[in-house]
């Protein structure tokens, strides 16, 4: 099934920070992609995950002093690649070293690492601050011969970059079946069949050996709930890269939870209030 609800949120007054925070709150309610503009935010959620009561709860808890109106429209399944080509997804360059583009793009900047991503919706194209920050962190990490586990792999973009930079073995785990199929396609497009993709949740970690590097670009609640499982599959001296949450309270909560399992922060970045944490075990 490929039907979505397009939910429009108009904010008065509207600001980039307010839109970013609203997107973060909606992401915790299974919304998958967001298109902000100068009047508000358009968000997309699978038909089966749409819950009007949950939307009202998000708006009731929204901390910014603004008025928000919203409306929802059902969009039947379609060729999402075509939609992204026409409206949203343009080639991007991260850190002057990675170019991310779709197979339908022709005018592509040159970079050390050329990643092809054909998004079926928006499971991580590099445009979002969380994905781009982890891409940057991977560029600054020695990956040659290192084992990598990518939780919530989405499009597979992070796993693909890791493999391109010499990581082996690389495993991506994705709970959403549709996103998993998208990752399988993107891994094929990039010529890295050695990447092991698993359709599952943190329980899938039980069958894997501990990795040198574990990545989780998901959201605060999932990361907090699964921290124990993540830590158990990270080698002593290994590196954990986390994103999908906000700086400040969210980051503090995750750092405190990570400390219970011998993980200490060694670096942190933020972009548009989205945080990325680098932690070391032992």
Instruction: Give the model confidence (pLDDT) of 1-44 as tens digits.
Output: 578 899 999 999 998 888 888 988 898 888 877 778 889 999 98
- Distances 196 to 170, 171, 184, 280 between C-alpha atoms, Å: 6, 5, 9, 24
| pTM, rounded to two decimals | 0.76
Q: Where in the chain is the domain with CATH 3.40.50.150?
A: 128-281
pLDDT value, residue 200: 95
Residue 235: name the closest of 209, 266, 201 by CA: 209
Whether the pLDDT of residue 145 is over 50: the answer is yes
Q: Would you state the CATH architecture of domain 128-281? A: 3-Layer(aba) Sandwich (3.40)
The tens digit of pLDDT for each residue in 165-198 reads 999 999 999 988 878 988 999 999 999 999 999 9
Whether the pLDDT of residue 123 is over 50: the answer is no
The tens digit of pLDDT for each residue in 255-270 reads 999 999 999 999 999 9
Q: Would you state the CATH architecture of domain 4-78? A: 2-Layer Sandwich (3.30)
Residue 14's H or E segment, with its range, is none
Whether the pLDDT of residue 241 is over 80: the answer is yes
Q: Residue 101 — pLDDT band, cuts 50, 70, 90? A: confident
Which residues are bridge partners to 31 per DSSP? 45
Q: Where in the chain is the domain with CATH 3.30.70.100?
A: 4-78
């Amino acid at each position: 099934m490929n039907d979505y609800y397009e939910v429009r949120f108009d904010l008065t007054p509207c600001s980039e920070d307010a839109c970013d925070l609203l997107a973060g709150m909606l992401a915790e309610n299974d919304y998958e992609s967001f298109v902000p503009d100068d009047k508000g935010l358009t968000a997309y959620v699978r038909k089966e995950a749409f819950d009007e009561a949950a939307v009202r709860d998000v708006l009731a808890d929204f901390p910014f002093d603004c008025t928000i109106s919203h409306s929802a429209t059902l969009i039947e399944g379609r060729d999402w690649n075509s939609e992204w080509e026409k409206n949203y997804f343009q080639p991007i360059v991260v850190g002057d070293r990675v170019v991310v583009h779709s197979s339908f793009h022709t005018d592509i900047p040159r970079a050390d690492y050329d990643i092809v991503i054909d998004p079926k919706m928006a499971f991580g194209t590099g445009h979002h601050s969380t994905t781009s920050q982890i891409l940057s962190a991977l560029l600054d990490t020695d990956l040659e011969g290192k084992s990598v586990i990518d939780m919530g792999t989405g499009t597979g973009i992070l796993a693909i970059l890791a493999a391109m930079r010499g990581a082996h073995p690389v495993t991506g785990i994705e709970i959403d079946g549709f996103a998993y199929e998208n990752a399988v396609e993107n891994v094929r497009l990039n010529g890295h069949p050695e990447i092991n993709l698993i359709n599952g949740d943190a329980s899938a970690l039980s069958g894997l050996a501990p990795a040198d590097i574990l990545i989780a670009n998901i959201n605060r609640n999932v990361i907090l709930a699964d921290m124990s499982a993540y830590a158990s599959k990270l080698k002593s001296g290994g590196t954990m890269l986390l994103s999908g949450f906000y700086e400040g309270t969210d980051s503090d909560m995750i750092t405190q939870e990570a400390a219970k399992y011998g993980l200490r922060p060694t670096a942190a970045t933020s972009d548009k209030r989205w945080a990325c944490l680098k932690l070391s075990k032992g």
